[in-house]
Structure 1
Amino acid sequence: MKLLFLFLLAGSNLLFTDWHADFETARKEAKANGNYILLNFSGSDWCAPCIKLRQEVFGSAAFEQLANNSLELYDADFPRKKKNQLAKELQQSNDALAEKYNPLGKFPYTVILTPDGKVVKAWEGYPGNNSTLFIEQLKSVCDAKRP
């Protein structure tokens, strides 16, 4: 059982290897690389649709390819369990992002932004519960125009 838990824990960390540790870095990289920013609001330890979205979409090879070519990634996480609490500065940053881009507190909530912070498109929840469809929607936004 312990081995299974460690395997799952290690696998979940792999899903976020290309995600930026802070939003400002994602913004700077987007500007430098001519990419959009994918800002995802999640509740990593309590929101079942957030967990499903992370596993089925953000953990897929198709998403990884799209992200490597067109996106800078940032996950504004809002965990509830005490053991998963974020550092105070990071929590304040995520709170400010939520106030600006997700004032109704929807989870999951995914936003495509220009490097200057303009909203290009937003999705509430896990659209259609279909990873292929959601990745196609993301790709169409990225292909339509470049920031």
Structure 2
Amino acid sequence: MKKIFLTLLLVAGSFAIQAQELKWETDINKAITVSNKTKKPMLLFFTGSDWCGWCIRLQKEVLKTPEFATWAKKNVVLVELDFPRAVPQSDAIKAQNNALQQTFGIQGFPTIYFATAKVNAKKVPAFTGIGSTGYVAGGPKAWLAVADGILKTK
């Protein structure tokens, strides 16, 4: 009985570690570089991480699961564009996130936008949108089905 319990504990722990290993970029220029190098689109997560209930729920139910971690590593470059109320941010990050909110016409949180980008000679990114989604009820399986449908259109 102890062996079964320890095995289950180790398996559960490895899933938690895997979900925590995801790299979320916060610098859009770095994310664009990684995206172009890996030939993967960016998943732009517009969130109010410390005040938006649906954002927190999406994180808990989908973005911090082993299923999402496995999918994300294969399919996208993760970018978190946060609009917190209590957590301090640099002026540069605030300006970048506000500019991207305007660029993509984001009006509510959470919004996840899939996009690619090229940088022109003046170092200005030109984005190509693939599609967007937000919270999807039904856990990681339902959310990933929607995301896969969006990515198939690229």
Partner of 1:64: 69
CA distance in 2, matches of 1:49, 1:64: 20
Native 8 Å contact 1:22 1:90 kept in 2: yes
Unpaired stretches in structure 2, ≥5 consecutive residues: 1-15, 119-126
Native 8 Å contact 2:114 2:130 kept in 1: yes
TM-fit CA distance, 1:43: 0.3
- Tell me: higher relative CO, structure 1 or 2? Use CA pairs within 8 A at least 6 residues apart: 1
Matched, 1:114 2:119: no
Unpaired stretches in structure 1, ≥5 consecutive residues: 1-10
Native 8 Å contact 2:48 2:55 kept in 1: yes
Q: Cα deviations across residues 113-143 of structure 1 (Å, max 9, x unaligned)?
A: 02342111111x412353321112212333x
CA RMSD of aligned residues (A): 1.9
Q: Cα deviations across residues 6-65 of structure 1 (Å, max 9, x unaligned)?
A: xxxxx8xx7474111311111111111110100011001100100111121110111111
TM-score (norm 1): 0.79
Helix, strand or coil: the match of 1:114?
strand
Partner of 2:141: 132
Helix, strand or coil: the match of 2:117?
coil
Partner of 1:50: 55
Q: Cα deviations across residues 82-121 of structure 1 (Å, max 9, x unaligned)?
A: xx121111111001000111342x1001100023421111
Native 8 Å contact 2:50 2:85 kept in 1: yes
TM-score (norm 2): 0.76
Native 8 Å contact 2:22 2:69 kept in 1: no
Percent identical among aligned pairs is 24
Helix, strand or coil: the match of 2:51?
coil
TM-fit CA distance, 1:145: 5.6
User: Bigger radius of gyration, 1 or 2?
Assistant: 2
Number of aligned residue pairs: give it. Answer: 129
Partner of 1:40: 45
